[in-house]
Amino acid sequence: MFRLISAWVLQDKFLFIVCFILPFCLGVLGTQIFKQETPRQLPIVVVDLDKTTTSHQVAFELGATSAVEIKYQVASLSEAKRFLNSAEVYGALILPRDLEKKIKMGRKVDLPFYYNAEYVLVGKTLKNAFLQTALTLDAKTLATKALVRDSNLISAKAQAMPIVLQLHALYNEENNYTQYLLSVMLPCMWL
């Protein structure tokens, strides 16, 4: 029975292509699509209403992450909205007026970050990059204030970040969805 089916498949070019060549090509294509694993260099726009060294530092720190690329720096929220609506960027960071002044005075500062959450992985990546940047800048600010007060670097670091987070992803360390998507897609290609 097996010999009969294999002879039939080998003789019919269409069946051979559908059963062997096409799944192989689709598997290679799927692997190439998900090769990057996680999104990188996602374009965002920055609206800097403060135009101080602190606001430039915030934008620089966010742009320094591997997930984000600051593609545009604009003067108004309406320009940023235009870029978001045209899907040229995935997110917009608004650096409000008096940002540096409020930080130096020790007042609470809101940093609005709008991002496109239609694409789950892109939205999650942007959110994580922004949170990482915000927490880093917050820790630097607290450490600087504590260092001025105590003049002890170790004590200043401990006061700035009394709880050190150690996050360990299990079973999917790289947040790579390739293994899950391809394991579902490849068998479907055979049908």
pLDDT digits (tens, 9 = 90+) for 109-158: 888 888 888 877 888 888 889 888 888 888 777 777 777 777 776 776 66
Provide the pLDDT confidence category of residue 81 given band limits of 50, 70 and 90.
Answer: very high
**Strand-pair partners of 174:** none
Q: Quick: pLDDT tens for 19-70.
A: 788 888 887 887 787 776 677 899 999 999 999 988 898 899 888 888 899 9
- Is 13 within a domain? no
Question: Does any domain span residue 80?
Answer: yes
Contacts of 16 (CB under 8 A, 6+ apart): 9, 10
Is 108 in contact with 138 (CB distance < 8 Å)? no
CA distance 146 to 130: 24
Domain around 63 = 42-160
Domain annotation covers residue 24: no
Give me the number of domains the chain comprises.
1
- Residue 173 covered by a domain: no
CATH classification at residue 99: 3.40.1710.10
